[in-house]
Amino acid sequence: MLEVGTKAPDFTLEDSEGSKVSLKDFKGKKVVIYFYPRDNTPGCTRQALAFKNLYEEFKAKDVVVIGISKDSAASHFKFAEKNGLPFILLSDPETEVIQKYGVWQEKKMYGKTSMGVVRTTYVISEKGKIEKVFPKAKPDTNAEEVLKYLE
């Protein structure tokens, strides 16, 4: 996991429309990146809907919201369309960015150990530095916690 004060690793990934999006595209703006395990799972859907419900408040603060998972761009498109998500979803099927940000970790579920995305949210400053980390973010409260932090 990245530490507060470190430079946020730049990246270029495909969005749900098939366009390339880079972190550097948002230089000069505050960016919230939330990493999540999978589209259309209960927790990930609740988290996405929580960001959707508060999206206008993020927008009013000129904050960019980006969700990243290893799902395909086509999966993101369906997920965004089904749930009316107004923010950017990026596809990282090779887990390149997910690993750069330190959120690809060993997880235990039902006694089994596997590698996966640990739900984590980063706030990146206008200068491209990690400003705040929300490790092990809770799907239902993460968006609200981030918004409170930004106030």
Where are the chain's structural domains?
A: 27-150
- According to the model, what pLDDT value does residue 141 have? 96
Over residues 47-55, mean pLDDT:
97
CB neighbour class for 129 (10 Å; exposed up to 12, middle 13-18, buried from 19) = middle
Of the two residues 48 and 113, the one the predictor is more confident about is 48
Predicted TM-score of the model (pTM): 0.95
By residue count, the chain amounts to 151
By percentage, how much of the chain surpasses pLDDT 70?
Answer: 100
Cβ-contact 14, 91 below 8 angstroms:
yes
How is domain 27-150 classified at the CATH fold level? Glutaredoxin (3.40.30)
Number of neighbouring beta carbons within 10 Å of residue 18? 11
| Beta-strand runs (E) in the chain | 12-15, 20-22, 30-35, 63-69, 88-91, 104-109, 112-117, 120-124, 130-134
- According to the model, what pLDDT value does residue 112 have? 86
**Stretch among 30-44, 71-85, 100-114 having the lowest mean pLDDT:** 100-114
Dig out the tokens for 143 from the structure. Answer: 């968006």
For the cut 80, the answer to whether the pLDDT of residue 109 exceeds it is no
Which positions are catalytic?
Answer: 44
For the cut 80, the answer to whether the pLDDT of residue 97 exceeds it is yes
By percentage, how much of the chain surpasses pLDDT 90?
Answer: 91
